[in-house]
Chains A and B, each alone.
Chain A
Amino acid sequence: MKRYFRIWWQLTHVSFATNVATVFSSILFLAGKILRFVFMLIFLLGIVNAAGGIAGYNRIQSIFFYLTFNLIDILAQLFLRGVYLFRQKVVSGEFDYYLIKPVNPLFRALGGNADLLDLITLIPLMIYMGRLVSEMRIGWLDIMLFLFMLMMGFLLSLSFHILVAALGVVTTEVDNAIMFYRDLTAMGRVPVDIYATPIREILTFIIPVAVMITFPAKALMGLLSMEWILFSLFMVFCFLFFSLRFWKYALSQYSSASS
């Protein structure tokens, strides 16, 4: 564990140094990320103020769903950003070097390209979330449950990233798959209750965006029953198991392009 943390730290250090070396690009990316968040927030505030909320949730609750989506999204990008660069590693043959080193190739493929800019945007997001939580007057039990469900959400996100990485090994088709995943999770910016059947069911039982994003927010609001918590645990276990099996299968099918 300690060894992997040291490796991750070293890789993250290099990644951060890259950000600092390309100052102009980094500033523009940071500006873009902040503006994207702010613009969407302005839009959501505009519509929930006019409509009084979304799908029975009040203004603050509606905004909190959006913030939870952002939190999961940023955490995934912070720790699993390697998947965006993975296709190039497979196509160029650099993935071969991952396989021969005494480090789990999956860890190497997904981790280690942490974005400093995401860390910068994470801090004000968490401050804003904290402010909303204090406005909603949430008890400590609900906060603990929220953190637990957030961890489940992150593990689900990890499963999806593993699936995409495995797909990249088998087909080299990563870029569209990961963007498709991000567009899918973007449907969780608002509570999945707004979607009609069968979309809501698909987002809950098949591609569990609801478990990833809506459930943690609902847990904080005290709206998540024990049945749904147990269901979330079951989904996380199934997805993690299946994604790791698929990764193992993908490795067995891998034939190097060149190195």
Chain B
Amino acid sequence: MKKYFQTARTTWENSFVYRLNFVMWRARQILSLVTGYFLWLALFNNRNQLFGYSLNEMLTYVLAASAVQSVVFSSRTIDLAAVINSGELSRILVKPLSNIKYWFAQDLADKALNIIFSVGEIGLLIWWLRPNLAIPSWSGIIMFLILLPGALILYFLINYLFGLLGFWTPEVWAPRFLLLVFLMFAAGNMFPLDVLPDSIVKAINLTPFPYLIYYPVRALLGKLAITETGLIIAMTYTWIGIMYLIVKLTWEKGLKAYGAEGN
């Protein structure tokens, strides 16, 4: 456990080496948040309700989704494919480290850093814009805290799986780009999925993506009934189980194909 804690600590410290990188990344998140915030403000205009959300609820959704995105989507596992392609994976394989735990430790450090800054940024925006937010209930907060770790682990496994493609091809960026496009649309970070036609929402619900941001934030807003929350929790952890099995199989096959080229 101590070695993974050290890995996380090193990742944390590394983030401050390339400070400009990090500042630019956070600036980009703020831009995205500001765009969404003002778009919904303009759409509501003099309306009380849109897509089943009041203005307060929608603005709360936008801000909460941004914070959740900082936690769930921040990841170092994006470097895994490059590590495999360059043969650097050998360094990790010869050490008494589990590769998946090693990368998860790095992810956790990255997420911790991002959430600290995200909370600060959202706090500043709330102080500046003074929106009327929907205050979540205690049950909503509890449901959210149950769903959030699941979302975290699920995204890590999805990202890790795409990183493992590096065993077979150096061209990992293309499938990853496609994944990002689907996430942008189906995870609920840009907008609640209620905006979309029912048929599209039904199709999206067959994927793991809405369990990353949309359902946790809906739970926070108290828009999930207890029974529905139970189902969402079950689905989230079912997807985690499925993804873990796929990752495990892919890793075993990948190791057999691994040639440590470049190292």
A residues within 8 Å of B by Cβ?
A: 22, 24-26, 28-29, 31-32, 35-36, 39-40, 42-43, 46-47, 50-51, 54-55, 171, 173, 176-177, 179-180, 183-184, 186-187, 189-190, 193-196, 199
Contact = CB atoms under 8 A, between A and B. Distances in A.
Contacts of B227: none
Given A177-B24, A194-B42, A25 B174 contact: yes
Contact of A24 (B44, B45, B171): B171
A179 B28 contact: yes
B24 A29 contact: no
Given A31-B178, A35-B178, A51-B45, A190 B39 contact: yes
B226 interface: no
B35 interface: yes
B47 A43 contact: no
Interface in B182-205: 182, 184-185, 190-191, 195-197, 200
Nearest to B35: A187
Binding site secondary structure of chain B = helix
B42 A54 contact: yes
B11 to A, nearest CB: 18
B178 A28 contact: yes
Interface in B19-39: 20-21, 24-25, 27-28, 31-32, 34-35, 38-39
Interface residues of B, number: 38
Contacts of B44: 51
B185 A39 contact: yes
Given A43-B196, A47-B43, A180 B24 contact: yes
A25 B195 contact: no
A46 B39 contact: no
Contact of A47 (B20, B181, B195): B195
B177 A29 contact: yes
Nearest to B190: A43
Given A43-B190, A46-B196, A186-B35, 18 more contacts: A25-B174, A29-B174, A32-B177, A39-B181, A40-B185, A50-B43, A50-B51, A50-B195, A51-B47, A54-B39, A171-B20, A173-B24, A176-B24, A176-B25, A180-B27, A194-B39, A195-B34, A196-B38
Contacts of A43: 185, 190-191, 195-196
Interface of B: 20-21, 24-25, 27-28, 31-32, 34-35, 38-39, 41-45, 47, 50-51, 129, 171, 173-175, 177-178, 180-182, 184-185, 190-191, 195-197, 200
Most chain B CB within 10 A, of A176, A177, A190, is at: A176
B31 A183 contact: yes
Contact of B42 (A28, A55, A183, A187): A55
A184 B31 contact: yes
B99 to A, nearest CB: 25
Contacts of B24: 173, 176-177, 179-180
Contacts of B197: 42, 46
Contacts of B185: 35, 39-40, 43
Contacts of A199: 34, 38
Nearest to B43: A51
Contacts of A176: 20-21, 24-25, 28
